[in-house]
Structure 1
Amino acid sequence: MAMAGETVLAAYDLGVSYGSEPVLRGIDLELRAGAAPIGVIGPSGAGKTTLVNALRGLVKPETGRIAFQGKPLPGKLARKDKNRFAGSVRHVSQNGNPLRDPRLTVQSYLTTALKEARRAGRTHPTTVESLLNFVALNASYGGRTIMTLSGGERQRVALARALATRPDVLLLDEPLTAIDPSLRAEVLRRLGTLASDLGISVLVVSHDLEAVERLCDTVHILADGQFIASGPLREVLIKGRHPVIVDLREAAPLTAQRLR
């Protein structure tokens, strides 16, 4: 496990292009062990998922670099370091994690994740029941097959799987969109408590301003491939004058009104 305050995953002057089209430029972001969750919000096409994929080592920077515990990504990690990276940095997407066999039971799915944690050297006493409890699902879900779950239940099981390694970093890309809003608040509360208790650094990439504001002390507004504003959501959303921020504010009038 990373030491409190240690920079686990970072982007420095990150630039990414697809062909001749720049997607990200000049992005600086540090995820430190034990630090408060960080949010990234912005319109569709702003580069949010590309940023997550770059942090996962799936996209090669054109300029700048991604670093994991001070070592560059992607392609520069030894096998042992890659295993450590897989256990230390976990990802949950909007659709949950893809499955080769959706007929797997939740019990099998999460048991496999706990075995992966042991292979990554992150052994701990967590059980399948504990993982389900983290995401507000009762133990009876262990016998369900993944294919019988609702979209919101799949998202919560995917989050439970990501937590199986007790990671240093959670990269959450629209992870709770299918969950009922009243239950989403409870899952966010539990996630925030767990992240604080275990020293997990969380990056939340989302359109859901309420979720980001509830979980994150600091947010970055991403537009045209760069951070155009950073700070508490209350400040950047209400005081911002950039057209993208105005659009975000107008698209969520109730949130904007509450934050005034």
Structure 2
Amino acid sequence: MDALEVEDLVMHFGPVRAVDGITLRIREGTVVALVGESGSGKSTVGRCIVRLLEPTGGTVRLAGADITRLDRRRLRPHRRNVSIVFQDPAGSLDPRLSVGDIVGEPLRLQKKARKEVPEKVAEALRRVGLRPEVAHRAPHELSGGQRQRVSIARALISEPRLLVADEPTSALDVSVQAAVLNLLADLQRDLGFACLFITHDLSAVEYLADEVAVMYLGQLVEQGPRRRIFGSPAHPYTQALLSAAPVPDPAEQRARRPVLLGDDLPSAIDPPPGCRFHTRCPVAVETCRTVVPEPRTIGEGGHQVACHLVNDDGTGPDVRLTQGVAR
């Protein structure tokens, strides 16, 4: 069964077309990474899924239930099925509350018995590697890594079926990023929740994700199993992203020549016609400039791509052979 089904999701802010037709599914117990440049619309997708934003169009289903247009009262029973961890723990934790009140707030909103809350809070803190005594402290007394662990404890205390992790390590020191990633991986394996992992860190994606969805200027350009995406990327944008990702071998890293796309991400107010990537694509042809490519399945394993130049068997141009120079 799918924990999440997103069909043709659209989110416009006035003239800004932040998300423009996203279709995405996450199976129970799996991790799907949503990747792309800053400004591509990744976080907006996450906020629509948890209904912090009401989508302009499309459908969001949690465990089969359509939550897209539910008002606050009707949405409440479904809130326990989805939680979110934000990028900046300092900004997402109420400084006026103690850690215990922050972590236990979802239970109180769900009308859990008051006497049960302290024990469940202590259990949630232990699960994320914090001592139960931390419940009596304020968020500002904790380090960045500890605050993010508190955020994860709060998100998981209601045992959601889906966790949206919106760049959960990007605001942390490098020294603690790996620890938080390991914690998320362990919790996902032990608790079995589905996860939408929003990030631009491809090394974290390779470590954590089962499947990958690549987003560019409000649309998905490629999605499929992690091994297929990293081993045989089909879309020129995905190839360019992977070429720029650092590798742990210094000699290999020095030998690499990342694809230089040039120019900035086009404006979401007036996106290019045809394929939105054609203005930066080293191999674009006239069709790319005028015709919108439809997503289609290539090869095996549910690998999908939206590119005119990719064949049904997955073969096509490799922009990494342009030696780092884009037209």
Normalised to the residue count of structure 2, the TM-score between the two structures is 0.66
Matched ranges for 1:87-236 at <5 A? 87-96=80-89, 98-100=92-94, 102-119=95-112, 127-181=120-174, 183-236=176-229
What letter matches 1:10 in structure 2? Answer: E
**Matches of 1:255 and 1:45, distance apart in 2:** 27
Partner of 1:127, secondary structure, is: helix
- Structure 2 residue aligned with 1:43: 37
Give the superposition deviation at 1:168: 0.9
**Matches of 1:124 and 1:218, distance apart in 2:** 35
- Structure 1 residue aligned with 2:60: 66
**Matches of 1:251 and 1:48, distance apart in 2:** 19
Partner of 2:109, secondary structure, is: helix
Partner of 1:253, secondary structure, is: coil
Q: Which structure is larger by alpha-carbon Rg, 1 or 2?
A: 2
Higher helix residue share: 1
**Matches of 2:156 and 2:176, distance apart in 1:** 19
1:14 equivalent among 9, 12, 17: 9
1:134–1:190 contact (8 Å) kept in structure 2: no
Partner of 1:84, secondary structure, is: helix
1:132–1:138 contact (8 Å) kept in structure 2: yes
Number of aligned residue pairs: give it: 249
Give the superposition deviation at 1:176: 2.0
Normalised to the residue count of structure 1, the TM-score between the two structures is 0.81
1:135–1:187 contact (8 Å) kept in structure 2: no
**Matches of 2:118 and 2:188, distance apart in 1:** 17
Partner of 1:254, secondary structure, is: coil
Give the superposition deviation at 1:180: 4.3
Gaps of 5+ in 2: 257-327
- Structure 2 residue aligned with 1:82: 75
What letter matches 1:211 in structure 2? Answer: A
1:27 equivalent among 22, 26, 33: 22
**Matches of 1:22 and 1:153, distance apart in 2:** 36
2:100–2:118 contact (8 Å) kept in structure 1: no
**Matches of 1:240 and 1:8, distance apart in 2:** 26
My pick for the range that moved more, 159-168 or 186-195, is 186-195
Gaps of 5+ in 1: none
